[in-house]
């Protein structure tokens, strides 16, 4: 429609993750962020979820560009899938571009036009003039946007907190946000993640004090797990390591690659001779070692998980090691994180985690900071984003307290359209939206989970592996029995079935007692062994379901 601005969140307003918003005016459209969400526990076999962006593809000739707030996966993870279908330029700050470039390379999308934009620069995309405004967050180089549209000014905060002492010294640009307040902003879209929390979120620098305490007490090696994208945290560990005369070893593909990108772009400062390779571990005394790795969420295939169950080639936990989980326990992951903590304690490590020490601070603004943002920008209309329903409720209460009438606060569902024109703003219908389940990187794999399962069943069938184990010892007491449907005729292919049985028994006998005590780890192991075998020998991908019962 003419003379109407449509603001359409395609994801991120019903969950934390999947962040993606479309703005449309006449023949022009821009996309803000294109993020993923990691699967919940009831989505077996799914690697991650991305928003359904059909609406963007239907309007492909209008899309002038994609702007990104920062490099977190919940804002950039869907980008490769979108860019495979649509060739448009991408605009973001230098570190975000660095991280995205690496991601696109993995998907063979080197040809995409990537533009580095500095805070306070303005990018013109059709009728939209997008100004980048620096914010502080748990990743460096985050921005929000001030967007000039024919229907008024829009401010999108991105993910933010007000960190008065950021690790890199780059303060949030309060001045710009208040400038938008002075000019008169029509709509504010703001981060609701921590709207339930009172007060202020601690500065990232607070973590440093906890690190210093832990480092001064530690006699042995220190192993720290955090998010690979948390460059500030990695910087603080490196600084404290240098202070205590320790060397730093980074372990894990994503963390090494992110650190290298940040180092190349000047976002990470590493003193001479501090960063060593894993091979150097054997030449160091325990009290000289800090290992930084990933796996803080208990991910079964991560370095930390392998260390915890003694499956790692080089790093073996021993008495005196200190392991720090320097990240938030994301709800839903508590059980797997708890298991890893138990495994580590059992091997003699001292484990320090969120519940017992201040080794993590959030990257998102709490109540007082959110109110300050509302007061700076003084918007006519307000849309809470980046949160589940309850976060948005808390955020909207804050907005009411700062004087925004309830009728000017808009709760949108994914795909709902907010229309803004001269006379006012109102909700107006819904475009195609939803979630797409992704298993692996292939484009062909991107489809609804049910469809994908059905298709896989139809093509390659299903293989059930049924094993009874003795609860305490983990010895197999019955099976493995193999039941398959639509995969091979069981009597015609007895050889394959026998091979599968043998393979399962063999890999079970190699498992450590800790893995045996954990059904999900056994299942993951069997699945990966069989997947590989069936692909190599038969080029088939049946659904593999290990069923393990204890007697």
Residue 229 or 484: which CB sits closer to Zn ion? 229
Residues 249-308 that bind Zn ion (CB under 5 A): none
Give the other-Cβ count within 10 Å of 407's Cβ: 10
Q: What is the 3-state secondary structure (H, E, C) of 280-309?
A: HHHHCCHHHEEEEECCCCCCCCCHHHHHHC
Residues 6+ apart with CB under 8 A from 135: 142, 143, 144, 157, 158, 159, 160, 172, 173
Using the rule CB under 5 A, give the single segment among 65-73, 267-275, 287-295, 330-338 that binds Zn ion.
65-73
Residue 99 or 469: which CB sits closer to Zn ion? 99
Cβ at position 489, least distance to Zn ion in Å: 50
Cβ at position 74, least distance to Zn ion in Å: 4
Give the other-Cβ count within 10 Å of 458's Cβ: 9
Cβ at position 161, least distance to Zn ion in Å: 10
Strands 114-116 and 90-92: parallel
Cβ at position 189, least distance to Zn ion in Å: 13
State yes or no: residue 233 binds Zn ion (CB under 5 A): no
Using the rule CB under 5 A, give the single segment among 74-82, 144-152, 283-291, 417-425 that binds Zn ion.
74-82
* Interhelix angle 389-401/367-377, nearest 10 degrees: 60
Residue 19 or 293: which CB sits closer to Zn ion? 19
Using the rule CB under 5 A, give the single segment among 49-57, 97-105, 158-166, 288-296 that binds Zn ion.
158-166
State yes or no: residue 74 binds Zn ion (CB under 5 A): yes
- 260-285 as b/e: b if 16+ CB within 10 A: ebbeebebbebeeebbbeeeebeeee
Are 21 and 412 contacting, i.e. CB atoms less than 8 angstroms apart?
no
3-class DSSP assignment, residue 334? helix
Residue 332 or 348: which CB sits closer to Zn ion? 332
State yes or no: residue 73 binds Zn ion (CB under 5 A): no
Using the rule CB under 5 A, give the single segment among 72-80, 88-96, 323-331, 423-431 that binds Zn ion.
72-80
Cβ at position 340, least distance to Zn ion in Å: 24
Cα–Cα distances (Å) from 202 to 208, 365, 454, in that order, read 12, 9, 48
3-class DSSP assignment, residue 51? strand
Cβ at position 75, least distance to Zn ion in Å: 6
Known catalytic membership, residue 453: no
Site string for Zn ion, 481-500 (x = CB under 5 A): --------------------
Residue 74 or 163: which CB sits closer to Zn ion? 74
Q: Give the span between the Cα atoms of 259 and 95, in whole angstroms.
A: 11
Site string for Zn ion, 103-142 (x = CB under 5 A): ----------------------------------------
Residue 69 or 251: which CB sits closer to Zn ion? 69
Alpha helices, DSSP H, located in 169-310: 174-183, 205-217, 231-243, 253-264, 303-308
Q: Give the span between the Cα atoms of 193 and 210, in whole angstroms.
A: 24
Selected binder of Zn ion within 14, 131, 159, 439 (CB under 5 A): 159
Pick the catalytic residue from 364, 386, 391, 395. Answer: 364
Residue 33 or 514: which CB sits closer to Zn ion? 33
Strands lying side by side in the sheet with 289-293: 275-276, 247-251, 289-293, 222-225, 322-325, 350-352
Q: Which residue, among 138, 133, 24, 123, has the nearest Cα to 75 in the 3D structure?
A: 138
Residue 141 or 159: which CB sits closer to Zn ion? 159
Q: Give the span between the Cα atoms of 86 and 88, in whole angstroms.
A: 6
Using the rule CB under 5 A, give the single segment among 152-160, 314-322, 460-468, 535-543 that binds Zn ion.
152-160
Are 222 and 215 contacting, i.e. CB atoms less than 8 angstroms apart?
yes
Pick the catalytic residue from 52, 74, 163, 191. Answer: 191
Cβ at position 12, least distance to Zn ion in Å: 8
Are 36 and 410 contacting, i.e. CB atoms less than 8 angstroms apart?
no
Query: How many residues would you count in the chain?
Result: 551
Residue 12 or 379: which CB sits closer to Zn ion? 12
Q: Which residue, among 86, 85, 77, has the nearest Cα to 104 in the 3D structure?
A: 77
Q: Which residue has the tokens 């930084």?
A: 292
Cβ at position 201, least distance to Zn ion in Å: 13
State yes or no: residue 460 binds Zn ion (CB under 5 A): no
State yes or no: residue 161 binds Zn ion (CB under 5 A): no
Known catalytic membership, residue 364: yes
Judge residue 110's burial from the number of C-beta atoms within 10 Å of its C-beta, 0-12 exposed, 13-18 middle, 19 or more buried: exposed
Are 157 and 135 contacting, i.e. CB atoms less than 8 angstroms apart?
yes
Residue 172 or 465: which CB sits closer to Zn ion? 172
State yes or no: residue 72 binds Zn ion (CB under 5 A): yes
Residues 6+ apart with CB under 8 A from 298: 305, 333, 335, 336, 337, 338, 339, 340
State yes or no: residue 163 binds Zn ion (CB under 5 A): no
Using the rule CB under 5 A, give the single segment among 112-120, 155-163, 286-294, 474-482 that binds Zn ion.
155-163
Cβ at position 158, least distance to Zn ion in Å: 8
Cβ at position 80, least distance to Zn ion in Å: 18
State yes or no: residue 369 binds Zn ion (CB under 5 A): no
Using the rule CB under 5 A, give the single segment among 66-74, 202-210, 272-280, 467-475 that binds Zn ion.
66-74
Summarize as ranges the residues that interact with Zn ion (CB under 5 A): 72, 74, 159
Which residues are known catalytic residues? 191, 364
């Amino acid at each position: 429609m003419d003379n109407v601005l449509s603001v359409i969140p395609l994801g991120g307003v019903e969950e934390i993750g999947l962040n993606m918003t479309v703005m449309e005016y006449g023949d022009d459209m821009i996309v803000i962020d294109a993020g993923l969400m990691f699967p919940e526990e009831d989505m077996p076999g799914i690697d991650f979820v991305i928003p359904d962006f059909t609406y963007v593809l239907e309007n492909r000739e209008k899309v002038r560009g994609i702007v990104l707030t920062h490099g977190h996966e919940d804002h950039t993870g869907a980008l490769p899938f979108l860019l495979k279908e649509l060739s448009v330029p991408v605009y973001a700050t230098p570190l975000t571009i660095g991280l995205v470039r690496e991601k696109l390379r993995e998907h063979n999308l080197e040809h995409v036009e990537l533009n580095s934009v500095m805070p306070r620069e303005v990018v013109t995309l059709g009728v939209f003039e997008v100004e980048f405004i620096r914010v502080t967050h748990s990743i460096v180089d985050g921005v929000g946007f001030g967007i000039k549209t024919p229907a008024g000014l829009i401010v999108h905060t991105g993910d933010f907190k007000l960190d008065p002492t950021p690790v890199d010294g780059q303060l949030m640009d309060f001045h710009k946000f208040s400038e938008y307040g002075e000019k008169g902003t029509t709509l504010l879209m703001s981060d609701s993640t921590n709207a339930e929390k009172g007060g202020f979120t601690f500065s990232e620098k607070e973590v440093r004090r906890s690190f210093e305490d832990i480092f001064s007490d530690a006699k042995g090696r220190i192993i720290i797990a955090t998010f690979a994208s948390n460059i500030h945290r990695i910087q603080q560990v490196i600084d404290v390591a240098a202070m205590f005369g320790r060397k730093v070893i980074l372990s894990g593909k994503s963390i090494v690659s992110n650190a290298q990108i940040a180092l190349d772009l000047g976002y990470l400062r590493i003193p001479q001779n501090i960063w060593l390779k894993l091979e150097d571990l054997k030449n160091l005394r325990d009290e000289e070692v800090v290992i930084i790795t990933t796996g803080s969420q208990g991910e079964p295939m991560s370095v930390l998980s392998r260390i915890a169950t003694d499956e790692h080639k080089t790093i073996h936990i021993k008495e005196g090691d200190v392991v720090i989980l320097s990240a938030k326990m994301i709800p839903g992951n508590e059980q797997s994180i708890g298991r890893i903590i138990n495994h580590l304690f059992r091997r003699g490590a001292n484990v320090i985690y969120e519940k017992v020490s201040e080794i993590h601070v959030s990257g998102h603004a709490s109540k007082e900071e959110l109110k300050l943002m509302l007061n700076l920008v003084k918007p006519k209309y307000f849309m809470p984003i980046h949160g589940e329903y309850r976060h948005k409720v808390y955020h909207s209460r804050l907005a009411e307290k700062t004087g925004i009438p309830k009728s000017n606060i808009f709760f949108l569902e994914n795909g709902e359209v907010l229309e803004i024109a001269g006379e006012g703003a109102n909700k107006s219908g819904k475009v195609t939206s939803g979630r797409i389940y992704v298993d692996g990187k292939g484009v062909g794999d991107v489809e609804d989970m049910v469809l994908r399962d059905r298709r896989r069943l139809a093509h390659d069938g299903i293989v059930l592996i049924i094993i009874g184990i003795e609860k305490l010892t983990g010895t197999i007491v019955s099976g493995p029995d193999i039941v398959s449907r639509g995969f091979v005729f069981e009597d015609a292919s007895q050889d394959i079935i026998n091979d599968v049985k043998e393979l399962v028994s063999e890999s079970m006998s190699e498992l450590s007692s800790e893995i045996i005590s954990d059904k999900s780890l056994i299942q993951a192991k069997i699945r990966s062994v069989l997947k590989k075998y069936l692909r190599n020998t038969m080029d088939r991908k049946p659904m593999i379901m290990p069923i393990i019962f204890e007697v």
